[in-house]
Copies of this chain bind each other. A is one copy, B any other.
Amino acid sequence: MPLLGLLPRRAWAALLSQLLRPPCASCTGAVRCQSQVAEAVLTSQLKAHQEKPNFIIKIPKGTRDLSPQHMVVREKILDLVISCFKRHGAKGMDTPAFELKETLTEKYGEDSGLMYDLKDQGGELLSLRYDLTVPFARYLAMNKVKKMKRYHVGKVWRRESPSIVQGRYREFCQCDFDIAGQFDPMIPDAECLKIICEILSGLQLGDFFIKVNDRRIVDGMFAACGVPESKFRAICSSIDKLDKMAWKDVRHEMVAKKGLAPEVADRIGDYVQCHGGVSLVEQMFQDPRLSQNKQALEGLEDLKLLFEYLTLFGIAEKISFDLSLARGLDYYTGVIYEAVLLQTPTQAGEEPLNVGSVAAGGRYDGLVGMFDPKGHKVPCVGLSIGVERIFYIVEQRMKTKGEKVRTTETQVFVATPQKNFLQERLKLITELWDAGIKAEMLYKNNPKLLTQLHYCESTGIPLVVIIGEQELKEGIIKIRSVASREEVAIKRENLVAEIQKRLSES
């Protein structure tokens, strides 16, 4: 009972007295009403918090606020990602942050325990969405959509041990692109890989490659090596850890924890070390064990076709057929892939980055059918860009280079060198705003000119318009360039036109 253990004595007493009051009318007597218990616990915990003399204000574990600096970097990256999705004809979409719990259960394999559940407040049982793929499949089934190319950018939540160093949080943004529908083989799959290449090249993150495999090859390999079918998904999740753990440790997990025969594990070990281009696909067609397995052969046929299309897309040299790629999630049924950034040689002062996978996805032909009352399937293939890691990399690089970002877009500042010019400044700034010009002024009746100019310098505002007694009398306005400190006087009525001209030139 870890929670109650934290309560101070007074709160404990309050909790006990609430629990010992007579059961409510609808209770059976044998069982105390759950909502009463929960309410009592909550009240006591809150009391405990409020009683703390040094109340510390903080945010939930594993989450963070995004400051204006963060937001500027994100906006740039998301713009690039979304414009790539739109270039490929995708429509936007959104789903609620939470789903019925039953919609999400039994979709994520070993990771299901990491879901955030909502408290039962007398309605439905709800959980925060864990990814954007299951809600998409639920949407297709619910609306009987048979064909759709959509993108979805949104937050998802997982109760993982947060690793802030690696930019991993419990709340994070996902950017997904998926193609649903019955089409000729491998054309949409190849497009997904093309999109990953376009995005990673566009972001200029350095060199990268994409590991590709097929769930049918993974399963075929398991069968050929002698893994019992009941252990397929469990062994799959062990294999999935090969990018973070050594083979020896993965082997240990499979044998000691998952009860796999050591010789079976060793046979798998031979395969998972294989990776290469299309020639490896050809080689595997000749493999004595794999070539006996119908599923594996289907997977290999598809990969061969995939490589053909990837060559036409001009990205075949970025792709590596990798038998160690397994992908942890239960719902994949065909091609799977994962993009990995290559470590750039550490530049002077740049911290080494261990970034791992920055994009991933695959084919999931069975998921929509799980939501359809009659089991009607809609084949799907998609990808997810690991934008959080990308944000982290870009932010680290900017830090190393000492790059600063402007967090506002203000173009013009309205200043005065004299007292009692608030009214004139308000009139002036109204003209600018109404003309669509981004403008600011200080919220003071009588600010000093130096303070006003300093504000422009520190926030990167390029232009200042200055009004004072002299200007008012002569019907003019001064425009000052913050960078060059040059000032010119123009007629007041030409202000907006002159500013617009200058902004369009810069």
A binding-site residues for B, Cβ under 8 Å: 1-5, 15-16, 19-20, 24, 26-27, 30-35, 37-38, 41-42, 45-46, 49-50, 54-61, 63-68, 70-72, 75, 86-103, 105, 116-126, 128, 138-139, 141-143, 150, 155, 157, 159, 171, 179, 181, 183-184, 187-188, 190-191, 194, 198, 309, 312-314, 371-373, 407-410, 422-423, 426-427, 430, 433-434, 436-440, 443-445
Contact = CB atoms under 8 A, between A and B. Distances in A.
A432 to B, nearest CB: 9
Contacts of A91: 68, 71, 407-408
A444 B121 contact: no
B65 A139 contact: yes
A334 to B, nearest CB: 15
Query: How many chain copies?
Result: 2
B24 A1 contact: yes
A65 to B, nearest CB: 5
A135 B35 CA distance: 28
A87 B1 contact: no
A35 B138 CA distance: 30
A354 B86 CA distance: 36
A121 B117 contact: yes
Given A64-B96, A194-B430, A314-B430, 11 more contacts: A19-B30, A57-B371, A63-B98, A65-B93, A65-B95, A68-B93, A71-B91, A88-B439, A97-B155, A116-B119, A117-B119
B41 A100 contact: no
Contact of A37 (B16, B37, B63, B126): B37
A143 to B, nearest CB: 8
A118 B157 CA distance: 12
A3 B120 contact: yes
A96 B159 contact: no
26 contacts: A1-B27, A1-B33, A2-B122, A34-B41, A46-B101, A46-B125, A59-B96, A60-B98, A60-B100, A63-B96, A65-B96, A66-B94, A68-B150, A71-B94, A87-B437, A88-B440, A89-B408, A89-B410, A89-B438, A97-B128, A97-B171, A98-B171, A118-B128, A123-B159, A179-B443, A312-B427
A4 B28 CA distance: 11
Given A99-B60, A138-B57, A26 B5 contact: yes
B57 A31 contact: no
Nearest to A181: B443
Contacts of A72: 92
Contact of A426 (B19, B103, B313): B313
A142 B16 contact: no
A159 B122 CA distance: 11
Contact of A116 (B70, B121, B314): B121
B312 A426 contact: yes
Contacts of A95: 59, 65-66
A102 B439 CA distance: 38
A312 B2 CA distance: 61
Contacts of A100: 58-60
Given A41-B34, A314-B430, A443-B188, A117 B118 contact: yes
B103 A57 contact: yes
